[in-house]
Amino acid sequence: MKSVNELKAPLSAIFTPLIGEFRIKTYFSYYGIFKDKIMLALYKDEQLYLRIAKTDLEEIKLLPNTLLLEDPNVGLATKSFYKIPSEFWESTNFAQWVKNIIHQIQSEQEAIL
């Protein structure tokens, strides 16, 4: 595995314009991308698996080459993480998907409190 520092620059190009500062942590054989303790994405072998909000799920399923992450070795419920092809990483849709998952998780956390 690459070091977290090696991945910071390429992942910063994707995420910093959208969410500002974020953290990268190793997560099993993946790298987790976190904003305010919320895991937004997993990254492995140049592939980005974005956590998708319920409101965006149908749209994501219709995109070409977008696949549900299925890895029994990850140890978490991956039913919300979808491989997003690199051609979508700089799209306005991608920015909205990131914002939507942050909003959904924050709303769910507030509902618990």
DSSP 80: T
pLDDT tens digits, one per residue of 4-32 = 999 999 999 999 999 999 999 998 889 99
Per the listing, tokens 């592939």 go with: 47
Strands 67-68 vs 30-35: parallel, antiparallel or unpaired: unpaired
This prediction has a pTM of: 0.92
Q: How far is CA 30 from CA 9, 66, 85, in A?
A: 17, 18, 17
Chain centre distance of CA 17: 15
> Whole-number mean pLDDT of the chain?
92
DSSP string, 23-51: EEEEETTEEEEEETTEEEEEEETTEEEEE
Contact 83, 69 (CB under 8 A): yes
> Could you read off the pLDDT of 54-69 as tens digits, one per residue?
999 999 999 999 999 9
**Domain region containing 99:** 4-112
Q: In the chain, helix, strand, coil percent, each to 5?
A: 45, 25, 30
Residue 64 belongs to domain with CATH number: 3.30.1460
Number of domains in the chain: 1
What pLDDT does residue 77 have? 59
